Amino acid sequence: MNNLFPPALLERLTAARWFVATALLAMIAGGLIAAVTAHAPTRLVVWMVAYLVLVVGVAQMVLGLGQALLPQRLPSSSWRVGEWLLFNVGNAGVIVGTLLGAAALVSLGTVLFIIALVLFFLGVARAQGGWLLRVYQGLLAIVCIGALVGLLLSWLH
């Protein structure tokens, strides 16, 4: 029995575990890639490190935890698995497509990523208002706008 967290909070934190674990791995990978390439960084590697840390890492952690903690009722486990898959497969498509210069792959990845963001938004749609919910929704909007700008830049490049 875990006495550190109340059972209801533990259930909610457990619901976010895949998002948090993947986010931590992405941040560690970004740091390791930065350390290995620090002697001769390229524009694409610097971009990839930033993307891994900020989008795959920080944004995923905040979105996963926010969705687990904000609504009265947690989204189902299949809903969360779908979000996790769309978010991470989409990110993989964006990263690989950018590194290969394949705008079509970046586009596919971005579409999957934006679908995941919509699911995150819907996952908290019934949450009670408050400043944390507004911050969460603001982050979703910023990340979505950033994805669309990135998509435009990949097509212009």
Does residue 1 fall inside a structural domain?
no
Closest CA to 34 of 21, 51, 20: 51
- pTM for the model stands at 0.93
5: how many CB neighbours lie within 10 A of its CB?
Answer: 12
- Residues of the domain holding 111: 7-156
Q: Is the CB of residue 78 less than 8 Å from the CB of residue 148?
A: no
Does residue 23 fall inside a structural domain?
yes
Q: Scanning the structure block, which residue is given the tokens 């996790």?
A: 84
What's the pLDDT score for residue 77?
95
What's the pLDDT score for residue 127?
83
Closest CA to 45 of 56, 36, 54, 58: 36
Does residue 147 fall inside a structural domain?
yes
30: how many CB neighbours lie within 10 A of its CB?
Answer: 19
The number of distinct structural domains making up the chain is 1
* CA pseudo-torsion sign 73, 74, 78, 79: positive
pLDDT tier, 4 (very low <50, low <70, confident <90, very high otherwise): confident
Helix (H) or strand (E) holding 103: helix 103-123
pLDDT at residue 145 is higher than 70: yes
